[in-house]
Every structure is written in structure tokens, then in C-alpha cells.
Structure 1
Amino acid sequence: MEKKVNTYHLTLTPVRLASGEPVSNKQLDLTVDNHDELFSIIERLQEKDPFGDKAQAAEFALGLKLFSEVMLKHRNNPLFEELKPAFQPFMKRLKSL
């Protein structure tokens, strides 16, 4: 039986560069699968507002969920070896907020 996943399309477009250089017309379009419903997670974290900034709460939630999904898909990859022991307690603490 195939696992059910949510599929999202992300678009990343540069707006302003810290260097002051002109913004290129580069754009990254990415389709990703995630076992979680990302909008509900973002909304919940924005409600809790752990950083005093709802935009940063959304940025954090999205980054964390994208990262953790890759880590989950590649759980045996040595790259994640040092993170694995700390990640589960971190996620439990975050969910308890």
C-alpha cells in the first residue's frame, strides 16, 4: 500500500540581495511531498508565536518541516547521524509549546 502524502509547490524568488547587487531573474520552482499538512503546522506555530514574529514562525515551521522530511526519507544517511539523538526530543519540546 502506498503511503499518503501531501504534495506542495514552492517558488523561491530573490527580492533584495544584502550585497546591494541587482536582483537576478533566477527562480526556483520545487514540488515536494510531506507527510504533514504544512499549512496547519504553520498556522499553529504562528498562533504560538515563539519568536514574537509571525513571519519568522512561518519561516521556521516551513524550514523545519522541509528539512525533517528529507531527514526522515534518508534516516540512515550518515549525514544525519549526529542530529538524530537530539532531533526527537527537540520535536517533542516544540510540540509541547
Structure 2
Amino acid sequence: MKGHLYRFTIEHIEDKQGNSLALSPLTFEARNHDDILNIVEVMKGKMALDETDATAFAVGLKLFGEVMLKNSKNELFKQFRPHLNNFMKELKKT
């Protein structure tokens, strides 16, 4: 598969009670047809979200969307695709 290759590292820093955690990070690589870093920068100025929320939203949406495209024959994704397409059209208008 062609596309940009990214490495993601997620560290669980503290639990919901605020206790520090010393767990191994989750690291994985994923390809995406879009430049996610550029999209994050664009999203920071597009929506009424703070920088952290805009970043999390953009990265999550791009990862989800790419998995959906890659697995387009999955029945669950087939049902959801029209909704995501409509959402993306509205997002691009902002």
C-alpha cells in the first residue's frame, strides 16, 4: 500500500484517579494517503477546539478513515461510510 508511513507512540501516563503509571508504551506504524501532520496544522485553525483537542481529533479521524478505506468490504464500515462521507463534506466547509 502506498502512502505516508507514520509511527505512533501512546503512553499511559496516569490513570483516571491521577495516579502515575509506569507502563510500556504502545507503538505501531500506520500508512495514510494524507499528510497527517499537515492536516493537524490545518485543523488547529478550523474548529473551535483547543490545540490538544484539534490534534487528537485530526489524528483519530485520519486513522479511523484510513482503516475504513482499507477494510471497505467490512459490513460495519459499509453501513457507516455514507455518514463519514457526509461528515467529511461538512468538515471541509468549515
Structure 2 length-normalised TM: 0.90
Query: What are the residue-to-residue correspondences of 1:59-70 with 2, within 5 Å?
Result: 59-70=56-67
Which position in structure 1 is the counterpart of 2:35? Answer: 37
Aligned to 2:57, what secondary structure does the other structure show? helix
Give the aligned residue type for 1:58.
Answer: T
Aligned length: 94
User: In 1, distance between residues paired with 2:31 and 2:59?
Assistant: 13
**Alpha-carbon RMSD:** 1.5
1:90 Cα offset (Å): 0.7
Gaps spanning 5+ residues in structure 1: where? none
Runs of 4 or more consecutive aligned structure 1 residues displaced over 2 Å after TM superposition: 19-22
Which position in structure 2 is the counterpart of 1:78? Answer: 75
Aligned to 1:24, what secondary structure does the other structure show? coil
Q: Which has the higher helix share?
A: 2
1:26 Cα offset (Å): 2.1
Instruction: Give identity over the alignment, percent.
Output: 36
Query: What are the residue-to-residue correspondences of 1:6-21 with 2, within 5 Å?
Result: 6-21=4-19
Structure 1 length-normalised TM: 0.87
Gaps spanning 5+ residues in structure 2: where? none
Give the aligned residue type for 1:95.
Answer: K
